[in-house]
């Protein structure tokens, strides 16, 4: 598709050209199985080790603490189920009301089917975690607390180190879904109380179908997939070699681009937000602007509906997403915005723009040029918000 303005990088990202180059040989000539005894396969294992080292550098971890998985969801399930399996006497899970379905649905399923006690900690109107409620929730029966590092819809960043320390004080394990945070904020797990961290390749310019789980050394672990001895007996299944190599290369790239992400990308985001708020009446930002990812903004346009906005943006090749009910096929708007107490009227018209280092000033110009007109046009059709 020519002339696409892609501002939906929290949904997925473009595979970086360097990443594609790095993985191609393992789809072509170097197709060996890393578990094989022959050199042809064995050489491939070295590339996996290098990818593991790259990820460890990105996270401030030791390579032995990295397990490759197939996606962020697998990492989340592995961590939470492992915590419950290794602490069988503890039957309580703490998470948040704004978690991604990868964590939220699993926890609710465990609650519904296995009678685990589940506490979902709330957020305030700015999407900030209610730390008093969190502190009160974690107790000596808690097996694992799972708190996302940054929210996918608003970009709001949570104090996960503090949460991890509180969990540790109670002898509970701590997991963070850092799928949106890795590559956008500095992460150093060397002296942290975080036991598990999930990440996903396709959010950081690697392809879809690969993820990783950090498991702190010394943490008791119970594997999710059983079978062969791959990943030091912690995740069975033949390694998706091209994907693992790609994730390693992507890890190096996002580490190198971390400053750019927090300066240039943040500047693009800030300009878009500023200009849209100046040009569109009855619009406001959802989430705590002071503590959020550098690439994300979530703006509510009152009196109009998100799907209609997105489809009109799509006419101009602009890709974004919405917390509106209609875009998902459900009838209720985003659980994140509802947990924040954003009125339904504003949630229905919420649009998320999420940037990457591949976005340009021209992308921002294009949205500023067309979106105010779209908002006006839909408000002319709408029965609400008239003077």
Active site (catalytic) residues: 326
- Which residue in 112, 140, 169, 314 binds another protein (CB under 8 A)? 314
Burial class for 164, CB neighbours closer than 10 Å (0-12, 13-18, 19+)? buried
Name the DSSP letter for residue 281: S
- Which residue in 46, 136, 344, 376 binds another protein (CB under 8 A)? 344
Q: Which is nearer to another protein, 190 or 381 (CB)?
A: 381
Q: Which is nearer to another protein, 251 or 304 (CB)?
A: 304
Which range in 100-108, 240-248, 254-262, 342-350 contacts another protein by CB under 8 A? 342-350
Burial class for 289, CB neighbours closer than 10 Å (0-12, 13-18, 19+)? middle
Q: What are the residues facing 176 on neighbouring strands?
A: 197
Q: Which is nearer to another protein, 332 or 369 (CB)?
A: 332
Helical (H) or strand (E) element with 368: helix 361-381
Contacts of residue 104, Cβ cutoff 8 Å, sequence gap at least 6: 95, 120, 335
Burial class for 191, CB neighbours closer than 10 Å (0-12, 13-18, 19+)? exposed
**Does residue 112 belong to the site contacting another protein (CB under 8 A)?**
no
- Which residue in 170, 208, 279, 338 binds another protein (CB under 8 A)? 338
CA angle 135, 139, 144 (to 5 degrees): 95
Q: Which is nearer to another protein, 276 or 337 (CB)?
A: 337
Please give the distance of CA 78 from its chain centroid, rounded to a whole number: 16
Minimum Å distance from CB 124 to another protein? 10
**Does residue 362 belong to the site contacting another protein (CB under 8 A)?**
no
Minimum Å distance from CB 28 to another protein? 33
Minimum Å distance from CB 119 to another protein? 12
Minimum Å distance from CB 317 to another protein? 13
Residue (of 212, 167, 158, 159) closest to 193 by Cα position = 167
- Which residue in 34, 155, 333, 372 binds another protein (CB under 8 A)? 333
Residue (of 164, 166, 169, 226) closest to 196 by Cα position = 164
Contacts of residue 280, Cβ cutoff 8 Å, sequence gap at least 6: 301, 371, 372, 375
User: CB count, 10 Å around CB of 142?
Assistant: 24
User: CB count, 10 Å around CB of 341?
Assistant: 13
- Which residue in 305, 334, 353, 372 binds another protein (CB under 8 A)? 305
**Does residue 136 belong to the site contacting another protein (CB under 8 A)?**
no
**Does residue 331 belong to the site contacting another protein (CB under 8 A)?**
yes
Which range in 76-84, 202-210, 221-229, 300-308 contacts another protein by CB under 8 A? 300-308
Q: Which is nearer to another protein, 238 or 330 (CB)?
A: 330
**Does residue 332 belong to the site contacting another protein (CB under 8 A)?**
yes
Minimum Å distance from CB 311 to another protein? 5
Q: Which is nearer to another protein, 26 or 303 (CB)?
A: 303
Task: Concatenate the DSSP letters of all residues of 146-180 into one string.
Answer: E--SB-TTT-BBP-HHHHHHHHHHTT-EEEEE-TT
**Does residue 21 belong to the site contacting another protein (CB under 8 A)?**
no
List contacts with another protein (CB under 8 A): 97, 122, 303-308, 311-312, 314-315, 324-327, 329-333, 338-339, 341, 343-345, 348, 380-384
């Amino acid at each position: 598709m020519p002339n696409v303005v892609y501002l939906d990088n929290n949904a997925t990202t473009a595979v970086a050209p360097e990443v594609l180059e790095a993985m191609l040989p393992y789809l072509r000539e170097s197709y060996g199985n890393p578990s094989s005894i022959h050199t042809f396969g064995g050489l491939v294992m070295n590339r996996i080790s290098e990818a593991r080292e790259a990820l460890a550098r990105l996270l401030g971890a030791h390579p032995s603490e990295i397990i490759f998985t197939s996606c962020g969801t697998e990492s989340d399930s592995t961590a939470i189920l492992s915590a419950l399996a290794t602490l069988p006497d503890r039957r309580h899970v703490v998470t948040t009301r704004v978690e991604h379905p990868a964590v939220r649905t699993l926890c609710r399923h465990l609650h519904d089917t296995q009678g685990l006690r589940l506490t979902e900690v709330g957020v305030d109107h700015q999407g900030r975690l209610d730390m008093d409620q969190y502190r009160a929730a974690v107790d000596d029966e808690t097996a694992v607390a799972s708190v996302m590092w940054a929210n996918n819809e608003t970009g709001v960043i949570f104090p996960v180190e503090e949460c991890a320390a509180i969990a540790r004080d109670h002898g509970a394990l701590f997991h963070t879904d850092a799928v949106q945070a890795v590559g956008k904020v500095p992460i150093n797990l060397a002296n942290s109380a975080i036991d598990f961290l999930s990440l996903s390749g396709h959010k950081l310019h690697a392809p879809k179908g690969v993820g990783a789980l950090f498991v702190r050394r010394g943490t008791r672990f119970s594997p999710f997939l059983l079978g062969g001895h791959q990943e030091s007996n912690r995740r069975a299944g033949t390694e998706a070699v091209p994907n693992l190599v790609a994730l390693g290369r992507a890890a190096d790239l996002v580490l190198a681009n971390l400053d750019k992400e927090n300066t240039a990308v943040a500047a693009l985001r800030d300009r878009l937000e500023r200009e849209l708020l100046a040009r569109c009446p009855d619009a406001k930002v959802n989430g705590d602007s002071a503590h959020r990812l550098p690439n994300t903004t979530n703006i509510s346009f009152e009196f109009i509906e998100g799907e209609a906005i997105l489809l009109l943006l799509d006419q101009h090749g602009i890709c974004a997403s919405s917390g509106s009910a209609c875009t998902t096929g459900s009838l209720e708007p985003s659980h994140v915005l509802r947990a924040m107490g954003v009125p339904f009227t504003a949630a229905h018209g919420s649009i998320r723009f999420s940037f990457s280092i591949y976005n340009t000033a021209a992308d921002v110009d294009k949205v500023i040029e067309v979106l105010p007109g779209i908002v006006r046009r839909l408000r002319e059709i709408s029965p609400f918000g008239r003077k």
